[in-house]
Amino acid sequence: MKKSIFLVSHSKEITDGIKTMVEQMAQKEEVAIFSLGGTAEGQLGSDPTKIMAAVEASQDAAVYLVFADLGSAVLSAELAFDLLAENDQKKYRLVDAPLVEGAFAAAITAGITDDVEQIMTEAKQAGKKGW
């Protein structure tokens, strides 16, 4: 089962760095990582249209796990959800977890299981478990 992980931050450099780190350790054929930091113009900020484009690019995924860092990045992730078709909304999970540790734990766990609840639990507990 294919899973997509969306990294949302105000900074493209942050999400690019996390994507690089996670891809080096996760099983790439099972998990697609999307760096969605910054605005479409390359500025600091977040952009729900980038999230929607990532959904479009990963229609073969069974689940979209969305990790966001700061308040308006979370708001962008929530707005993107509201703008998606109902079928895509069913696959969309905004994960309440630390961006770095949560995304890392989710990617590693997603590479070994298709249990979405287990993947999300690992992501949410990542900061406490010392991932």
- DSSP characters for 14-62? HHHHHHHHHHHHS-TTTEEEEE--S-TTSSSS--HHHHHHHHHHTTT-S
Of the residues 10, 12, 93, 124, only one is catalytic, namely 10
Nearest to 65 by CA among 127, 118, 20, 25: 118
How far is residue 49 from each of residues 2, 68, 76, 89, measured CA to CA in Å? 22, 15, 9, 15
Tokens 């961006």 -> residue: 99
Residue 10 a catalytic site member: yes
Known catalytic residues are 10
